[in-house]
Structure 1
């Protein structure tokens, strides 16, 4: 993948992996556009990271996804890269009646949104040079944690969709990449922590971004970063280890 002179949309770009990718690609002379639900965070990013373009959008909302793409192709017709990064990670106890609003929110954000955005942008990306769709899945796509079954299932689905989309687009200029992170030191998963701003630890986000970008540069279409490689290579064994 060409790492400079692109116009890149990153969903879920207000924190964590999304923001770190935005900063890295901006340093590499790309036009970077991020979207997120929280206007206050986007305003803060505009203040502290001049040059990163922001747009308020809740990707869990169908109409807002459609409006985002219409705004994008109208105002930034050179857009040639979509990074589907937005995601939420919630606890779900399937041994009791579950809260379907939470289940639907997780599925809509983690799976439906990237599928829909990719389908909306493919007609535009077909006409762009060095076009790419980059899906952020997870090591948990291969070996799930049982206390967050919906999150893990959506990431397994993102992995499957990435394989299918790559095949469907094999005769087009659009490349499809999948990056599966390990546990990364971000706010993701704050649903299970009393302090919602606290990180769960894990791989430093800058280290993750370095490895992910290196894989993109080398046209590695599916990369499991760090400990995620163990989850992919030894999924049954790792499931037993993680779920005693």
Structure 2
């Protein structure tokens, strides 16, 4: 895809991967709108001047509808939607009290993605062209047992993306799925997980892949290939066993 003249809405992009990709789209020449819940972060982004900002809570249908109306009023040429919103919460499945975290995770990561896509799909279909980019995770393909609902939600977004692509075939709207591995979005993340990709390196690789024609169905940086193809490569059971060591992070198991 040509990333130099797009009008891009990134939802859930007030920090981390989303914010870095928003900057990269802007640097490439695209018009960028960043959506998120936190007013302070949105104000900071707007003050920097590389993007406009809109408040949106993907767990609230009214908020999604208001954001859609505001964005399309200001940017009727909107042609690219990136759904970034997500929460990542450890859960101990032996404790029924985890259910609240599971519910929040599914509502934000999976249903929130669907709400955003539903809000903007009619606009993109009416244009006859556009791109939807969903964001999943390597954990959706190779689970991290300490975060089961996160893995389930991202696997769900993957399946939904596949179905969306098929259903939108012939409309001119393409669907791409960005699959990040662990990315060090802060110095603390880099300290906790030395194997995590540096944010700048990850974003550079993503933007290079997005420039590919045609846009890949799955945007896979090199660091996520071991996750994506673990079952095919026969490494799945071994890698899940390694990642099961993360259960020690749960307070009840320390």
- Do both proteins adopt the same fold according to a TM-score greater than 0.5, normalized to the shorter chain? yes
Partner of 1:190: none
SS in 1 for 2:29: coil
Q: State the TM-score, normalizing by the size of structure 2.
A: 0.87
Distance 1:243 1:66 in 2: 40
Unaligned runs of 5+ in 2: 246-254
Partner of 2:221: 225
Per-residue deviation, 1:133: 0.2
* Deviations, residues 184-215 of structure 1 (Å, cap 9, x unaligned): 0126xxxxxxxxx9324411111111111122
Structure showing the higher helix proportion among its residues: 2
SS in 2 for 1:23: helix
Distance 1:227 1:4 in 2: 26
Structure with bigger gyration radius: 2
RMSD between superposed Cα atoms in Å: 1.6
Per-residue deviation, 1:129: 6.1
The answer (yes or no) to whether the contact 2:26–2:51 under 8 Å persists in 1 is yes
Partner of 1:183: 182
* Deviations, residues 63-87 of structure 1 (Å, cap 9, x unaligned): 1111111212222111110000111
Give the number of equivalent residue pairs. Answer: 234
Per-residue deviation, 1:130: 4.6
The answer (yes or no) to whether the contact 2:164–2:175 under 8 Å persists in 1 is yes
The answer (yes or no) to whether the contact 1:92–1:98 under 8 Å persists in 2 is no
Per-residue deviation, 1:224: 2.5
Per-residue deviation, 1:143: 0.8
* Deviations, residues 134-188 of structure 1 (Å, cap 9, x unaligned): 011000010101110000100000111111000001111001000100000126x
Q: State the TM-score, normalizing by the size of structure 1.
A: 0.90
Partner of 1:203: 197
Partner of 1:70: 69
